[in-house]
Amino acid sequence: MMRVLWLLLCVLAVAACTRPEQVTVAEAGGQKIRMRHLLQEAALARSRGEPLDDPRTDTLARFYNAATDKLVDQFLLAQEAERRGLRIPSSLVDAEVERLRGESPDRWRAVLSTYHMTEGELRDRIRTALLVERLAETLAEGIRVTDREIRAYYFENRSRFRKPGTARLLTFWVRPEAGERLARDLRGGRPTAQLVDAYRARILELEVREDRVTSVLEREALRSQRGRVLGPYRVGEQAVVARVLAVEPARQMEFSEARVQVEAAMLTQRRRQVMIDLARELRQRRGYRIFFRFRGVPPQAYPVASR
């Protein structure tokens, strides 16, 4: 206990003379992981809508700890990719940077500032990610699954393989004030051609999937019977009324239907496990150290231990 406390005090003494974001949190194969890297990871997570800053929880501290482990593995895997002779052309990194840059230099600088990155750091991040991706692709080339394994996996996980419910709709788009009248006329059986002319409606046939529902209209369509009229629903500056043309309920997929999905799921699972196993092996072979673990609630998430 005294040794751990003494080490922590030494680390904190060094940290006191260093800018907080430059403090070394961990090392992976001799490569330093700094607090700045964790701030970048947190900024990217916030941009995806992840709630890290609830003052009632330790979400931010747990995120920092998980991000440290992820970066350790990522750095070790990228080093291994280079050791195996894998390379990422500069032109590929340049193309990705240009795709992200857009046309406004001011906006680009603001984006980099938000993510606590320089353009050089962004290039390094892209290059590292591409190296890990290239390594994963290389390792995946030797992974195979047999038909017997695919069949066994299907019957062990059958409930996961369902054909989602679908619905086909004929939609009429009109001015909001005309929506109710159009719906009454459609329910009354007035021909489609007359409705298009009378209301200057724009018609569009849509395919709806249960696993991709984005609106109340789509959800109601999947619960409806063929021929039912739905709406009107307000969508932006227009109203939409729909007639249900067909509905196919969700159902269990037979093996012959699900085989391709089952094989893809198995290959994805095995490829992920190969990378996990390799990262674990590299931790032992190449070495790593984690100096800080975090605890506390925002904004006081702080380092508390070393190992």
Cβ neighbours around 52 below 10 Å, total: 18
157 part of a folded domain: no
- Whether 219 is covered by a domain: the verdict is yes
- The pLDDT, as a whole number, for residue 298 is 65
User: Is there a single domain that holds both residue 125 and residue 49?
Assistant: yes
Mark whether 26 and 131 lie in a shared domain: yes
Query: Are residue 17 and residue 99 in the same domain, yes or no?
Result: yes
What backbone torsions phi and psi does residue 203 show, to the nearest 5 degrees? -105, 150
Structural domain contains residue 85:
yes
Tell whether 52 and 176 lie within a shared domain. Answer: no
Contact 174, 207 (CB under 8 A): no
Domain span at 200: 162-252
CATH number of the domain at 27, please.
Answer: 1.10.4030.10
pLDDT band at 108 (very low <50, low <70, confident <90, very high): confident
Q: What is the CATH number of the domain that holds 231?
A: 3.10.50
Is the residue at 276 inside a domain? no
Angstrom distance (rounded) from CA 75 to CA 96: 20
Q: Are 29 and 118 members of one domain?
A: yes
- The answer to the question of residue 266 being in a domain is no
Across 20-47, average pLDDT: 91
22 and 105 in a single domain? The answer is yes
Same domain (yes/no): 123, 20: yes
Q: Tell whether 133 and 244 lie within a shared domain.
A: no
- Cα 218 to Cα 17: distance, rounded to the nearest angstrom: 59
State whether 60 and 135 are in the same domain: yes
For tokens 């997570």, name the residue. Answer: 45
Give the separation between CA 90 and CA 123, rounded to whole angstroms.
9
The verdict on residue 17 lying in a domain is yes
Question: What is the mean predicted confidence (pLDDT) over 72-94?
Answer: 95
133 and 191 part of one domain = no
| 122 in a structural domain | yes
Number of domains observed in the structure of the chain: 2
pLDDT at position 275 over 60: yes
Q: What is the model's pLDDT at position 227?
A: 92
8-state DSSP, 254: P
Residue bearing the bigger pLDDT, 196 or 3:
196
Whether 114 is in a domain gets the answer: yes
pLDDT in tens, 178-189: 999 999 999 998
Query: Residue 5: pLDDT above 50?
Result: no
Counting Cα atoms < 13 Å in the Cβ hemisphere of 164 gives: 11
Would you state the pLDDT for residue 159?
87
Whether residue 178 contacts residue 239, with contact meaning beta carbons closer than 8 Å, is answered with yes
My answer on whether 14 and 138 are in the same domain is yes
Least confident of 85-94, 99-108, 134-143, 285-294: 99-108
Structural contact between residues 128 and 75, judged by C-beta atoms closer than 8 angstroms:
yes
Distance of alpha carbon 217 from alpha carbon 219, whole angstroms: 5
* One domain for residues 136 and 210: no
> Which pLDDT tens digit goes with each residue over 8-28?
444 444 445 557 788 899 999
Neighbouring CB atoms inside 10 A of 9's CB total 10
